């Protein structure tokens, strides 16, 4: 793994450890609000957009791993999973959105 990739992975790990503490005891609506704050913080503090695009989704994935698995119960949760660097999270979010879009258009 190249040095830059290791540095990005370390940064994603550090950020996830710091931010998950604020998210653990919150509902998904509040978590989405706080993830937006994380997004803004990272955009402000990571000047290289390519690095941001690598680190942000991996940070989200690591946060979700730490929160533990759970069935998607709301759109806010699905939006967070959709931003994960883990393809399984994104697939679950996509399935949830497709399922619920069909219900709302029926």
Q: What is the pLDDT of residue 104?
A: 57
Q: State how many domains the chain has.
A: 1
| DSSP per-residue codes, 24-47 | TTS-HHHHHHHHHHHHHHHHHH--
- The domain in which residue 78 lies consists of 3-105
pTM: 0.90
Q: With beta carbons less than 8 A apart as the criterion, state whether 50 and 62 touch.
A: no
Is residue 83 very low, low, confident or very high in pLDDT (cuts 50, 70, 90)?
A: very high
How does pLDDT run across 30-69, given as a tens digit for each residue? 999 999 999 999 999 999 999 999 999 999 999 999 999 8
Q: Is 99 exposed, middle or buried (0-12, 13-18, 19+ CB in 10 A)?
A: exposed
């Amino acid at each position: 793994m190249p040095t830059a990739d290791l540095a990005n992975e370390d940064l994603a790990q550090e950020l996830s450890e710091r931010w998950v503490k604020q998210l653990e005891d919150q509902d998904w609506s509040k978590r989405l609000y706080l993830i937006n704050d994380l997004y803004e913080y990272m955009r402000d503090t990571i000047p290289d957009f390519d690095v941001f695009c690598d680190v942000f989704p991996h940070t989200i994935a690591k946060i979700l791993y730490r929160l533990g698995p759970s069935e998607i119960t709301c759109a806010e949760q699905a939006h967070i999973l959709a931003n994960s660097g883990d393809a399984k999270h994104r697939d679950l979010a996509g399935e949830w959105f497709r399922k619920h879009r069909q219900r709302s258009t029926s």
